[in-house]
A and B are shown apart, each in its own frame.
Chain A
Amino acid sequence: MSSTDLTKPDLAKGGDLLTARGLHKSFGSHEVLAGIDLTVRRGEVVALIGPSGSGKTTVLRSLNLLETPDAGTVTLGEVSVDFAASVPRREALGLRDGSAMVFQHYNLFPHLTVLENVIEGPVRVQKRPRAEAIAEARVLLERVGLADKALVHPFKLSGGQQQRVGIVRALALRPRLLLFDEPTSALDPELVGEVLTVIKELAEEGWTMLIVTHELGFAREVADQVVFMDGGVVVEQGPPAVVLGEPREERTRQFVSRLLKPY
């Protein structure tokens, strides 16, 4: 079928897209990940929650190879890497192609326009035709309400707009898995909604997403699974109604109640 819209996710639902087993990572003597197991099924939204310093960002960064785990295996689609074995860097980097990340502080390229930010990966890395990449970028920008901002530089945008560009930059890579690291926690409160709305729409379209967030109401509404981490391990995971509603573990209960009643 030639009319496949590649700006939309692969809708073949079901089956495991991402499997991480026994991820370990230490910085010096500080063990940050002490054996993380994680599974994300195709088309599923997984919310990763947990106190600050529990290793959530390190999990995402490991999946995108911004950190190299000391041990553990990660399988994403057809690519599988065992970090305990001495894998060639080039081979491990194959993992990165399957996922794209949205950063807490957006990390847009300030010297490039919004459109250039979005097509940089498709054109320079994936070597796709420039005209095609631009057309696709414009569709994606339109979808997040930023069609008129294509030619401006990021510093002219609000935080919420910048983060929406961050999301479009990730989508333009045509990843199979989207990684979000607290996508709204750097935003002013009144700008949080516009970003969460975009993520919610992506979930409805069927994108597979792993989202680190402190927005428990959002997680409850959007996530299929909630994973609670503390001290470098997964303490509890399951459907949002269970993990957020009636957690089995005491540590989860404390964390959830503290976040729901912050004062």
Chain B
Amino acid sequence: MDLDWDLVQRAFWPILKWGLIGTIPLALICFALGLVIALAVALMRISGNPILAGLARGYVSVIRGTPLLVQLFVIFYGLPEIGLLWDPWPCAVVAFSMNVGGYAAEIIRAAILSVPRGQSEAAYMIGMSRWLAMRRIILPQAARVSVPPLSNTFISLVKDTSLASLILVTELFRQAQEIAAPSREFMVIYSEAAVIYWVICLVLSTGQSFLEKRLDRYVVH
């Protein structure tokens, strides 16, 4: 089989472009919203209120116990049945954000619990309320602990957004499909998409190591 270099070259820019203006923004927005959900769920779980904690536990259990693709389909094909007709893009944002929220909640909860008890006690000693101690003393330290696992969650999310192509969201992989179908060069085009995903993730991993090294400077050894 001759490799169609011309096709590879013509396909490269459109695929990369949709990576940059489709995949990356989708991942960033879903990650940001997911972190907000995760923080709320984590705080509910450690709130000491049995109802809030139960709801949080249930949420995490459902998100982690069902396939992401199924969650995406429930939202895209299910919401119209209850009268909510949304475009693919907002559906994808809701599905991925909720998914990240479930996974990151457990990361954030573990990070909060990893901060030594003496830290909250010192915060209370200087007169802080529970919430102020959480915001000023506990969460900043928990954030440092959770950077490595959360970076992994983000990298997974970048790859998982390829599932959005199945509900017709235009992003990197959808673009690859649209080029592959008429040319029938599936092997070449999908491999090219894979390489582009790979490079994006390599860049993100490098950024992750850099971030971890920076944060490490302030950690107690």
Contact = CB atoms under 8 A, between A and B. Distances in A.
Interface in B111-126: 116, 118-119, 121-126
B173 to A, nearest CB: 40
B127 A107 contact: no
A116 to B, nearest CB: 10
B77 to A, nearest CB: 46
B110 interface: no
Interface residues of A, number: 25
Contact of B132 (A66, A101, A124): A124
Given A111-B141, A153-B218, A154-B220, A125 B132 contact: yes
B136 A66 contact: no
A111 B135 CA distance: 13
A136 B19 CA distance: 54
B114 to A, nearest CB: 13
A126 interface: yes
Q: Interface size class for chain B? A: 20 to 34
A83 interface: no
Given A110-B141, A110-B218, A125 B118 contact: no
A97 B127 contact: yes
A39 to B, nearest CB: 22
A65 B221 CA distance: 30
Residue from B126, B132, B136 whose CB has the most chain A CB atoms within 10 Å: B126
Contacts of B221: 155
A103 B126 CA distance: 12
A169 B126 contact: yes
B137 interface: yes
A120 interface: yes
Nearest to A169: B126
A109 B119 contact: yes
A103 B118 CA distance: 9
A213 interface: no
Given A107-B121, A109-B119, A111-B144, A125 B220 contact: no
Contacts of A65: 124
Contacts of A170: 125
A108 interface: yes
B220 A101 contact: no
Contact residues of B: prevailing secondary structure: helix
B126 A173 contact: yes
A121 interface: yes
Nearest to A90: B129
Interface string A79-100: 0000000000000000011001
A100 B125 CA distance: 6
B125 A101 contact: yes
Interface in B1-26: none
A124 B128 contact: yes
Contact of A155 (B116, B126, B132, B220): B220
Interface of B: 116, 118-119, 121-128, 132, 136-137, 140-141, 144, 218-221
Q: Shortest 10 CB-CB distances between A and B: which pairs?
A: A121-B126, A125-B127, A107-B122, A107-B118, A110-B220, A155-B220, A101-B125, A111-B140, A66-B121, A111-B141
Interface of A: 64-66, 96-97, 100-101, 103, 105, 107-111, 120-121, 124-126, 153-155, 169-170, 173
24 contacts: A64-B125, A66-B125, A96-B127, A97-B127, A100-B126, A103-B118, A107-B118, A109-B122, A110-B218, A110-B219, A120-B136, A121-B127, A124-B128, A124-B132, A124-B136, A125-B126, A125-B127, A126-B127, A154-B220, A155-B219, A155-B220, A155-B221, A170-B125, A173-B126
Given A66-B121, A96-B124, A111-B144, 5 more contacts: A66-B125, A109-B123, A110-B141, A110-B220, A173-B126
